[in-house]
Amino acid sequence: MRIPKTACLIFVCHLLVLSSALAQQIFVAPVPTEILAAKKIFISNGGTDSFSPAERYTSEAYRAYNQLYGALQKSARFQLISTPAEADLVIEVTTQVAVKAQDRVRLTIYETKSHYVLWRLDSWVQLSLRRATSDRNFDAAITKLASDFEKLASPPQP
């Protein structure tokens, strides 16, 4: 009876040592320096996908663009630029409306000179049957997207 207890104790200790060694190997990849250094951004309206059923939100075609623009305009971190050529980063906001699933608002961050995609952020819109509730849920998704972008673009604190 003592051998199984001892074997179980050794096995549990071995698992603890192994799990702590694996936890130390977690690597956090760096955020591209273009995102961290950006001061001037251009916001592009990617619109809504063509599979959109009847409008679910008030002013759907421009809603995501207008709200993201307003949220980032309030931020002291960025200067919003009217042409992409002057910007450090170009960000495109799109709304993807699903027929039977949650809608998604996507922010794609492009490097200005090469037009390479540097990062994508998604925010999901909670489904609702009432338009007023859908509008509030959409607003919350845009607020989250703006907040996530600002966190991503903030230099890490030492």
Q: How far is CA 63 from CA 45, 97, 135, in A?
A: 10, 13, 10
Mean pLDDT value of segment 76-98 = 90
pLDDT digits (tens, 9 = 90+) for 116-140: 999 999 999 888 888 888 889 989 9
Mean pLDDT value of segment 106-117 = 93
Asked if residue 3 belongs to a domain, the reply is no
Query: What average pLDDT does the structure give for the chain?
Result: 82
Asked if residue 25 belongs to a domain, the reply is no
* pLDDT of 158 strictly over 50: yes
Torsion of CA 144, 149, 50, 117, to 10 degrees: -160
Burial code (b: 16+ CB inside 10 Å, e: under 16) for 62-82 equals ebbbebbeebbeeeeebeebe
Asked if residue 131 belongs to a domain, the reply is yes
Asked if residue 158 belongs to a domain, the reply is no
Asked if residue 123 belongs to a domain, the reply is yes
The parent domain of residue 57 ranges over 33-153
Asked if residue 19 belongs to a domain, the reply is no
Asked if residue 9 belongs to a domain, the reply is no
Domain total in the chain: 1
Asked if residue 68 belongs to a domain, the reply is yes
pLDDT digits (tens, 9 = 90+) for 16-51: 555 555 555 666 788 999 999 999 999 999 887 755
* CATH code where residue 134 lies: 3.40.50.10070
